[in-house]
A and B are shown apart, each in its own frame.
Chain A
Amino acid sequence: MGKRDQFPVLTARKCIVGVIGALYALLILPFVSSPAFAADTLPDAPAGTVQIWVDVESASAKRSLNQISLGQAASWHDVAAIETPFGRSGVFAAQTGPVNLRFAISGALTADVSVTYVDAGGLVLSEVLLRQVSITPSLAGPGGWIAWGDISAAPGENGDARPLDPARANLVSTGSDLSVWLVLVGAGGLLGGAMLLVLRVRRPDLVSGAPGDSNVTKGEGA
């Protein structure tokens, strides 16, 4: 029983626990512990983009957002933010390629900010949503503009960059890096799961119950 004695907790049940840990890391961790979507990663406009819709949604946005400006091809296009029941919005003609945004405000605001890349038929090619972004006058730079890179979603809120229609992979590739990010996190999760297994082997004392007990519920948070 030498090998079995040497690795008393490496049973089938514990292998399952390890896999669960890996899946947990893969699927759940990104949403509960990741930082807000990084504002400086505003995706490029995918092929086919003809418009970009920017919506800043909140009561304070209705009060304080004055202008939205879209930067493409080394020039800025400024528009007065249009008031809607949800906040304020701007719609810009756009083309494929890098995109930048900036805002002009008259006071501090907190809002959901969404950026939507739209093709000629109105189809959404890609979209970005930052939840509960704080935009304050202190962030203002030259000319009073607040750069996209200087805003960020509030901690704990869900940020999401959502490429649409996996079938349009060529379009997605110009959007967010979510898939790469998921792969990385997934790999990390698997690694974590594997480490968990190793940890179980090396530190059976972390596991509640008697040695050899397969109840590893307390170990899942490791």
Chain B
Amino acid sequence: MIANAVRLPARRITRPLFSGVAGVVVAALVMVVAPMPALATTGVAEPSLVAVQAPAFTVPDTSVPVVETLLGRGGPLGLDATGGVTLGDAREGHEAALVRITALEPVADVTVLTGATGAPVLFGPASHTTSTVVLLPIADGAVSLWSDHETPIRVEVLAYFGGSLASPGATKAVAEPVRRADTSIGLGATSLGRGELWIGLTGEGGVPSTGVRSAYVTLDVTLAESDQLQLSDGQSIDLPAGRSVVTTVVTLDEQGGIHANLRGATEAISFTADVHGWVVEAPLDARNANLVGSYVSTTELNGRLPVQLRAGAKGTPLHLADSRDASHALVLVEGSAMSAPSAATTVQHGEIPTGRATGAAVDSSRGVVPQLALVPVAEEYGSFSLRQGAIELTVQPLGSFLGDASRERDQEPELTIDSHRDGDDVDISATGFFTLSGSAIPGANSIDRIEMYAFVDPAVTLDPQVDLDAPVGADGSRHIGNAQLSYDDNHVTWSFDAAAPTDGTYTYSARLIHRGDPGSQYVAQSVELHVNVAAPGEEVVSPDARVMNMESVEFAVDPADERKVIFGEDPQLLPDDILVGGATAATPEGFLGRVSAINNVNGSWIIDTVEVQIEELIFQADIDETIDYVDGQGQDGEPIVVTSAEETTADPESLYSGTYAVADDQGVFGEDVDLETVEAAPFAPGDPGAELFTGEDVDLDLGLDDFEQQIQDDVQLQCITLEDDPQEPRGPDIDEDGNWVTPDGDSVPGGDPCVQQLRAELNRTWSVGTDATLLLEVKNGKLLVKDQSNKPEQTQVAEKKSAFGNKFGIAVKASGQASATLKFKLDVKFKFAFKPSNAVKVQEFMVKVETDLKAQASLSMYVETNWKLDLTKKLGEVNLPTLTFMIGVVPIVILNDFEIALSIDAGIKAQVDFPVIGVSRHDEFGFTYSSGEGIKRIKNPGKTTFVNSFAQEVDDQTQVKLSGWISVGPEVTFNSRIYKFAGPAMSLGAGAGIRAELKTKVDETSPVKAKIEIFLGGGLKGKAKLTLLRWELLNVTIFKIEWETVLWSGEWDVKKAKPGQ
């Protein structure tokens, strides 16, 4: 037990910020080497572990090279990216190959390349023999290899690989090499010199962000003079003056990359780094971390081993592998020039050479260029031999491939817990879990797994319903999972995200089981911790959240890629961190993303991110907010910004869309034609098509004062509620695809009358008003939409008469107002037992919009043949101020905006005026989601007011004709987004419509009568593109409905035209 316990933050301690604390001397914990209680006797049931499969690692039987052009085996490499080399039969069932390529005294400098992009893998100077070893993907039985000119070549396969992401230690080749450093474009750095540059290696081109044990990297370096390249994983590579292409295998730092520098004072003339492959790390809770065929990075053997090789002398056994279960070591070799001029030869594996000369090429004057070698080992040792002459070979062990476990027990493994000390208080009330971590030293065998156990203080009362996911063994232990391993150049570290079901004292124990004793022995360490967990009402967010851009701007979003953010300095972010940005000038919409790749480009740190599921970020929160922009303002007085549609585009014609069709003499319509002829209105900045109203100007209920005085006597207003009207779709009647399923039963259409005492504007402090005047006419046989909004009235009348003279014209004057309120509810709760799990439940997630719309229009029509058309003109954009909720330290940034459009829908043949049609209406729509019940639609109609108008002759010359229907009204598309990426988009249209048919006149003197229906044409479309909130409702169509509610039907007398028309 340690006095003066250090309290550590719950954040995982491997972050550099905490590394100093993490490195504190390991507590005097009890180390146990004890027989492992057999599971059958202790009754410790296993937790749900991740099943794993052994990776494929096959060293083919000794063969002659697959290509040896000088001896007529195989052809020369192709000279473009279509070039490939077919491998031997042993390739079957494998996905990648480790291949040695030898350029045999080319007549001119040659570069061997791979992949469509031509990534270099070998540089062979003229007149020298140069070999290298590279990892290549197998496609259609071949590997991609080509050269910049034809040259004698030898290609040998050293090993084949296969395996999935569930194969710990599997070697994977990427389909195309991934360039991660290129000083010519500033990627990684602008130069390679004495100062360290950092190269990100993960997260791009198929290499995952995390779970990478090692990476295969090819470095292309050109130096003015010889120097030594140093890598932060401990490798150092001697390079001659001129160009060198070197492939090696590196272990990665926490950021998923590696530092590189030159030892001398020179700067490289050029430098690139390509990732060719990677090694799979065992996932968290993997049943085994290493199996036969796994590649294990070396942690105990570091540095350069020099060895003198002389033809005829037996090779000295060298210590090349960490453990006795290694069958082959992967090493980096480089060798001096030969002591005397000679023919080229090879370095072979084993104490004495056998067979013909194969292996790393030894050029008489250039020696062995740095390259990988796969060396058979026994009991951790392997040896090299030389066929001709003498050289000094330098060997750097990098890792080993595992064979069968050794029964040798002379070396016990070791284990430490570094993250916490006995007696520490651990507060996870705001974070949900904490990370236990430590280091491990394999013994005679590699690590099979590190099991994690929890012992619960008897005083703690557990809830049997939720806390028993890890059953209790006879010794009181609960096997709560298996730790994740991480290999660096000096250590194997392990980590495990742990939690506790309730406040109390717990003992967490780590047990290391090595491959030689997979079921009987373990080495253990324990730590007793006092854990404080979150109370039910507390807000809990993941400790992986990294909150920035709150008080000051730390990063900006790449304008070309909304998933990419740019830092001026190394933000010390780690792959898989959740980056959360507040709403600032640089990120006005906030930011949310999980770090996937990190690059340094010209001194800036470019972070690629991917989407985050909200339950990964928020474990517990309860937000219930009504977002109403009082007096047209948001938080901090930020105003609603209304922009006329014309101001949002340089192409005003793009604001119009629609289709039309014309019927023949028989009344049969032809095909729909896209609207393509538009004459946009001349833009007048001082005369907006959409503007913000506040205070007294807010007028959302249709009233007599909305109409010109001279017609007020002719109109009647009616108010009805439609809550029980079967003509109106409701949320529960809408199916999974968003379609309205009409309920069974006999229902009588028609709403109940209401009185206009609850005027909408009493509840609204702001609205957006719109105004539009359109003339539809025919020009050259096509429908032309002419926007007359900013034209003088005289011009409008003249243009209308001209259109009517051409036998087709529909003149529309429309105006209206709209306002909206958003209700947002997010109720998330979690219950972790001993580790984070998927026990985060969404109790309720709701987005509900309440709208008030008012629209009025006048129509004048001269349509001789039957036309049908569907036209929308965008009127304005309304940007509602950004809102920020805080959940713990994490800002949740919500953005809302909507667009207002005017929609005209008609199928009509008419020569008549409708001086006024209009409707105002309250609607409520949206959805609610919960983990248990999925998605439910919300759609409720509110009070509807409409005008009962009249029909009138177009003029005193034209005989009235009327057949068909027309509706005009606003369409509001509401977008709600959380950060900038996601959120439901819903659009509501509510048009006031008239369907009419002239009745046959009884005689010439009788009045012209029309049978009339006044209806509301409704449309509701909505999709939840919840790329952020990636539950089951991802990309769900919430609404896809159109409906028509008849508000009134009856008969009108057609009035005479007023003088002057």
Contacts and interface: CB of A to CB of B under 8 A. Distances in A.
Our verdict on whether A and B bind, yes or no, reads yes
Contact of A82 (B71, B312, B342, B361): B71
Contacts of A127: 62, 354-356
Contact of B312 (A55, A57, A86, A156): A156
A123 B343 CA distance: 26
Interface in A85-106: 85-87, 89, 91
A117 to B, nearest CB: 10
Contacts of A132: 311-312
B63 A123 contact: yes
- B72, B89, B344, B361 — most chain A CB neighbours (10 Å): B344
- A58, A85, A124 — most chain B CB neighbours (10 Å): A85
Interface string A6-22: 00000000000000000
A122 B64 contact: yes
Nearest to A112: B387
B872 to A, nearest CB: 69
Contacts of B344: 85-86
Majority secondary structure, A binding face: strand
- B89, B341, B387 — most chain A CB neighbours (10 Å): B387
Interface in B327-372: 341-346, 352-357, 361, 363
Contacts of A118: 63-64
Contacts of B61: 123-124, 164-165
A57 B66 contact: no
A57 B357 contact: yes
- B62, B64, B343, B363 — most chain A CB neighbours (10 Å): B343
A116 B354 CA distance: 11
A122 B88 CA distance: 8
A129 B129 contact: no
Contacts of B63: 118, 121-124
A155 B72 CA distance: 34
B341 A53 contact: no
Contacts of B355: 114, 116, 124, 127, 129, 162
Contacts of A116: 64, 355-356
Contact of A53 (B64, B105, B311, B343): B64
Contacts of B741: none
Nearest to B355: A127
B104 interface: yes
Contacts of A83: 70
Contact of A131 (B70, B104, B312): B312
A158 B311 CA distance: 10
B64 to A, nearest CB: 5
A73 interface: no
Nearest to B357: A86
Interface in B456-488: none
Given A57-B343, A57-B388, A112 B71 contact: no
A78 interface: no
A123 B62 contact: yes
A114 B345 CA distance: 13
Interface in A113-150: 114, 116, 118, 121-124, 127, 129, 131-132
- A86, A121, A131 — most chain B CB neighbours (10 Å): A86
Contacts of B72: 91
A31 B71 CA distance: 32
Interface bracket on A: 35 or more
Contact of A84 (B71, B341, B387): B71
Given A124-B62, A129-B353, A59 B104 contact: no
Contacts of A131: 312, 353
Contacts of B343: 57-59, 61-62, 85-87
Interface in A35-84: 53, 55, 57-59, 61-62, 82-84
A158 B66 contact: no
A39 B179 CA distance: 53
Given A53-B356, A85-B104, A131-B312, A121 B89 contact: yes
Contacts of B352: 31, 158, 160
Contact of B387 (A57, A61, A82): A57
Given A53-B71, A62-B343, A116-B64, A84 B88 contact: no
Nearest to A118: B64
Given A116-B355, A124-B64, A59 B342 contact: yes
B354 to A, nearest CB: 5
Nearest to B62: A124
Interface string B108-142: 00000000000000000000010000000000000
A83 B104 CA distance: 11
Nearest to A54: B356
A182 to B, nearest CB: 16
Contacts of B312: 131-132, 156-158
Contacts of A84: 70-71, 104
B71 A164 contact: no
A42 B71 CA distance: 22
A120 to B, nearest CB: 10
Contacts of B363: 85
A158 B105 CA distance: 29
A58 B129 CA distance: 14
A86 B354 contact: no
Contact of A162 (B345, B354, B361): B354
Nearest to B60: A123
Nearest to B103: A85
B142 to A, nearest CB: 15
Contacts of B89: 121
Contacts of A61: 343
A113 to B, nearest CB: 10
A58 B388 contact: yes
A49 to B, nearest CB: 12
B388 A85 contact: no
Contacts of B356: 53, 55, 57, 114, 116, 127, 129
B127 to A, nearest CB: 10
Nearest to B104: A85
Nearest to A62: B343
Contacts of A53: 64, 71, 356
A85 B107 CA distance: 12
A139 B446 CA distance: 57
Nearest to B128: A85
Contacts of B361: 85
A86 B129 CA distance: 9
Contacts of B71: 53, 82, 84, 89, 91
A107 B361 CA distance: 27
A87 B342 CA distance: 10
Contacts of A164: 61-62
A129 B357 CA distance: 10
- B64, B72, B73, B387 — most chain A CB neighbours (10 Å): B64
Contacts of B387: 57, 112
Nearest to B361: A85
A87 B364 CA distance: 13
A131 B357 CA distance: 12
Contacts of B354: 127, 129, 160, 162
Nearest to A162: B354
Contacts of A86: 343-346, 357
A157 B65 CA distance: 26
A84 B71 CA distance: 9
Given A91-B71, A124-B355, 11 more contacts: A55-B356, A55-B357, A57-B343, A57-B387, A58-B343, A82-B70, A85-B129, A91-B72, A116-B356, A131-B312, A158-B312
Interface of B: 61-66, 70-73, 88-89, 104-105, 129, 311-312, 341-346, 352-357, 361, 363, 387-388
9 contacts: A58-B342, A59-B343, A84-B71, A84-B104, A85-B105, A86-B344, A122-B66, A129-B353, A157-B312
The 3 closest A-B pairs by CB, nearest first: A85-B344, A85-B129, A114-B356
Interface of A: 31, 53, 55, 57-59, 61-62, 82-87, 89, 91, 112, 114, 116, 118, 121-124, 127, 129, 131-132, 156-158, 160, 162, 164-165
